[in-house]
Amino acid sequence: MAAQLDPEAVIDRIYDAVSEPGRWGDALEAATDFLESDGMFLLYRNLSAGAPKVVESTGFDRRALGAYTADHLCNDELIHESMNGPAGVVVSSARSFRGKKFRSTAIYRGLLEPNRLAHIAGAAALNTPKVYASLWMARSDRRPDFSVYDLHLFGQLLPHVARAMTVHHRVRQAEFEASLAVGAIDRVAAGVVLLDVRGAPLMVNREAERILALHDGFNLLNDGPAAAHLAETARLRDLIRQIGCCASPLQEPARAGGGALRLSRPSGRPDFHLVVLPLPRRCQPNDGSGAVAVLFITDPEKPQSPVDYLFGELYDLTDAEVRLINALLVGSGLTAAAERLGVSRNTAHSQLASIFQKTGTCSQTELVRLLLVGIAPVETPSDISGFDIPKLTLNQRK
């Protein structure tokens, strides 16, 4: 009988799943045996991120469970009852429904019946303004419905599931926030590399990866960044070493302003511009591990300000006016820009006058200055990032 089984083995597997989420399946299988049920599933929901999701299940056909989750879970009466009540209170088909009424519900028709199950019970292990997690068990009609004693044994597992899911939630949140940070840094037009106290790279954004792929004077090795020439590598690593020394918790706080240098390129193209700066102390772990410095690298040949549609949207510029600005930015005079764009000088002059009026500038010098400070140097959306440039917006401008 269930009472003769050792709950400690189940509890151990629940806590094993905290450090190895892939082991939730083992934990549910052990709990299924302990409770003499035929299936279990674990739900988790970050309340700021939509509907609950199935973390793991056992004894259920995954296709049927997936269909139920997609089509019926959000409207399920038992799930709603557990979400609207306090954590630890067990709800069940026997308590909430009677006879034919239960067999007409979505949870019976969409989940239990396809899996040849007849009885279900569950409870919220966590139910806070930020997170909801619940555990559910089911039995076939070949077994009796869950007794009061069965539900008591089930309740003994809930505090352990709650602790495990609390850690699970915190890990998920940390991963999500880290993913957001990486996504934001990928939007920076300059190459960005986070470095640890030894100079080893911890994170590289998309532009830095592009520069690295050029194999033209900048590289990242396990022991730190490297340049094409030994003297430049030594200077760069010395900057990082100075920052690392100041970041050590064993040292008194000191000023480490970082530095800047140019990296020559074997191809003969314009030098890369590189800046190394310390991260704020609040971002650095007390044990001296983790990222302590940030490296910014820019390619002078690559425009660093997305003046195409972003600047146009700021000042309600037409596509033709934006194209003229781009031509002027590459160093073309007004006449050369007109020829490049295939318009007359008078047309280009009229467009420039319109740009001055819309931006509140009086000269090309003022306009360029506004361009350099008016928009953050970010990458425009692309199919790589999952977001295309809004062509509809572009087409709507005359």
Residue type, 159: P
Task: Quote the radius of gyration of the chain (alpha carbons, Å).
Answer: 31
CA distances to 161, 213, 216 from 232, rounded to whole Å, are 55, 19, 14
Strands, E, within the chain: which ranges?
Answer: 39-46, 53-58, 90-92, 119-127, 131-139, 191-196, 201-204, 218-221, 224-227, 259-263, 272-278, 291-298
Confidence band (pLDDT; 50, 70, 90) for 396? very low
Tell me how far apart the alpha carbons of residues 81 and 90 are, in angstroms, rounded to a whole number: 10
CA distances to 88, 274, 290, 313 from 204, rounded to whole Å, are 44, 14, 14, 30
Least confident of 127-131, 277-281, 298-302, 350-354: 277-281
Q: State the pLDDT at residue 287.
A: 60
Q: What is the pLDDT of residues 9-30, one digit of tens each?
A: 899 999 999 888 789 999 999 9
Task: Return all residues near 45 (Cβ < 8 A) that are at least 6 apart.
Answer: 51, 52, 53, 131, 132, 133
Whether residue 392 is predicted with pLDDT greater than 80 in this model: the reply is: no
Q: CATH 1.10.10.10 in the chain, residues?
A: 309-396
Greater pLDDT, 373 or 300: 300
Assign domain 2-179 to its CATH superfamily.
Answer: GAF domain (3.30.450.40)
Average pLDDT of the residues in 171-194? 86
Tell me how far apart the alpha carbons of residues 398 and 394 are, in angstroms, rounded to a whole number: 9
40 forms bridges with which residues in the sheet? 58, 137
Q: Output DSSP code: residue 197.
A: T
Q: State the pLDDT at residue 225.
A: 93
Q: State the pLDDT at residue 18.
A: 86
Whether residue 382 is predicted with pLDDT greater than 60 in this model: the reply is: no
Average pLDDT of the residues in 183-197? 88
**pLDDT mean across residues, the chain:** 84
Backbone φ, ψ for residue 382 (5° rounding): -150, 170
Q: Tell me, which fold does domain 309-396 have in CATH?
A: Arc Repressor Mutant, subunit A (1.10.10)
Q: State the pLDDT at residue 103.
A: 83
204 forms bridges with which residues in the sheet? 193
3-state secondary structure of 135: strand
Write out the H or E segment, with its range, that includes residue 190: none
End-to-end CA separation in angstroms for the chain: 78
Whether residue 394 is predicted with pLDDT greater than 70 in this model: the reply is: no
Confidence band (pLDDT; 50, 70, 90) for 47? low
| Structure-token match 């926030």, residue found | 177
Q: State the pLDDT at residue 380.
A: 63
CA distances to 83, 110, 111, 112, 206 from 104, rounded to whole Å, are 21, 10, 12, 11, 53
Instruction: Give one word for 171, left, alpha or beta, with left for phi > 0 and alpha for psi -120 to 50.
Output: alpha
Write out the H or E segment, with its range, that includes residue 289: none
Whether residue 223 is predicted with pLDDT greater than 70 in this model: the reply is: yes
Q: State the pLDDT at residue 248.
A: 54
CA distances to 311, 315, 327, 381 from 375, rounded to whole Å, are 7, 11, 18, 15
Q: Is 63 exposed, middle or buried (0-12, 13-18, 19+ CB in 10 A)?
A: exposed
CATH number for the domain running over 187-298: 3.30.450
Tell me how far apart the alpha carbons of residues 98 and 311 are, in angstroms, rounded to a whole number: 64
224 forms bridges with which residues in the sheet? 221
Q: What is the pLDDT of residues 323-349, one digit of tens each?
A: 898 888 777 788 998 998 999 999 999
Q: State the pLDDT at residue 110.
A: 87
Q: CATH 3.30.450.40 in the chain, residues?
A: 2-179
Across 160-179, b (16+ Cβ under 10 Å) vs e yields bbbbbbbebbeebeeeeeee
